[in-house]
Amino acid sequence: MPLKLILMSPDGTVGANGQADDDVLRDLCLFIRRMATHGVQVGLWSRTLKLLNTDPLEAYLSRESGAQVKHFQAGTAQYPTRQQSGPVDPILAETGASRHETILVGSQTADMRAGVNNKLLLIRPAWYGDEMDYGFRVQSIGELARFCEVFALRQHPIYWSIDSGTVHVRSMGPFSTYFEEIAEYGADARRVAKENRGDPNFWFFAVVSALYFSGIVHDVDYICPFPGHDPAAIGGIRELVNGVMSRFGKCFNKSYFPDLIIRHTKSQKSQFLKAAERTFLNHLNTVYLNQKPHRFDNTEPRKTPLSLSGKRMLVVDDFITNGRSLDVARAYLTAAGATAVLFSWLKTVNTGFYHIWPNDPKLTPFQPRAVNTEPQSISFDYRACLPLYS
């Protein structure tokens, strides 16, 4: 569901060091008015009441924007202290917004704690400067407005999905080089993912917003990427994606493990293979799970094995062509006792998703495995997995 509520911490957002810039106040009031036209409420969330000259801040913002701005005063009987777990709940109940329909705009360490403890996406304003490197930075109120209108107000952040047995797949958009209306969109995604060109910030915000506003991130325990086809490849866009996804996971206290799925042998790229040459074996025999992965923010691997039993693992990839690579990730995670939620930036149109069926091959998930026979499979039809049109 799209954005319904924006909670703002006044310090570092409305003003800083006891002063408020006139241009920021003007742009902020315009932003509040603009959000109101979309049915989005903006509220203040802090422990202390703020004055602007002699006006309560919420009264000033309400008057100048023409939209009601309420101050949810933390640390009161009605609204508990922000840094605890769950104090946003009475605000959500009062406003009718769900957690994944709410963002927190704040720039200070206390805001970071409030975001993590309440599992809210933190958008970090930088128009008064940077206090921390956390959350997702916007340089201006105009940039905050663009994030909200382009990404947060999408009615349907998930474009294509499967839920069948152990198969849980989500994709946020279509990919095609043939349909003019989506060709440029997909071409830029490919330039970012494959060539480290294009507009990476657009795609990073698109991915983060799709995972958040769909509620997917609240339903998983860990996050990891699906590895590229060449284990010798380093740096480039992968490191940028890892940094973004690690920061995203931190917003919800969910570890991001860039090396949970290991590509131990170079695989063949699907786009260079004929249809008959695209196999599950291409991936079954080139990946395995790392029992002691490291978090992206820690260069040292875990000292104890990571238990995946009963856990939900979000696996993020750039494109789904025919689905075989991500379904192999699912098979390995299933063998380790986990449930896999498979997410891609884009899904190739008019091609199905191939799923190993009726039985996964016997896998030793934490070490390379030689599978000799191509497993049987079924295909989920592309059009049948379009929830908006089926």
Boundaries of every domain in the chain: 5-152, 160-385
At which residue do the structure tokens 């107000």 appear? 153
Is 5 in contact with 101 (CB distance < 8 Å)?
A: yes
Q: What pLDDT is attached to residue 387?
A: 83
Q: What pLDDT is attached to residue 190?
A: 93
Q: CB neighbours of 131 closer than 8 A, spacing ≥ 6?
A: 12, 107, 108, 109
The pTM for the full model equals 0.95
Distance (Å, whole) CA 123 – CA 125: 6
Q: In 3D, which of 148, 119, 310 has the Cα closest to residue 216?
A: 119
Considering the four listed CATH numbers 3.30.2010, 2.170.270, 3.40.50, 1.10.10, the one that applies to the domain covering 160-385 is 3.40.50
Amino acid at 319: F
- Average pLDDT by consecutive 10-residue portion of the chain (390 residues)? 94 93 97 98 96 93 98 94 90 98 97 96 96 94 98 95 97 94 93 91 97 98 95 84 96 97 90 79 97 95 97 97 97 98 97 97 95 97 84
**Secondary structure E strands in 198-338:** 222-225, 261-263, 287-289, 312-320
CATH number of 5-152: 3.40.50.1000
Q: What pLDDT is attached to residue 271?
A: 67
Q: In 3D, which of 313, 171, 209, 304 has the Cα closest to residue 255?
A: 313
Q: What pLDDT is attached to residue 18?
A: 86
- Whether the domain at 5-152 and the domain at 160-385 fall into the same CATH topology: yes
Q: In 3D, which of 118, 40, 128, 109 has the Cα closest to residue 80?
A: 118
Q: What pLDDT is attached to residue 48?
A: 92
Q: In 3D, which of 50, 14, 46, 45 has the Cα closest to residue 29?
A: 14
Q: What pLDDT is attached to residue 196?
A: 86
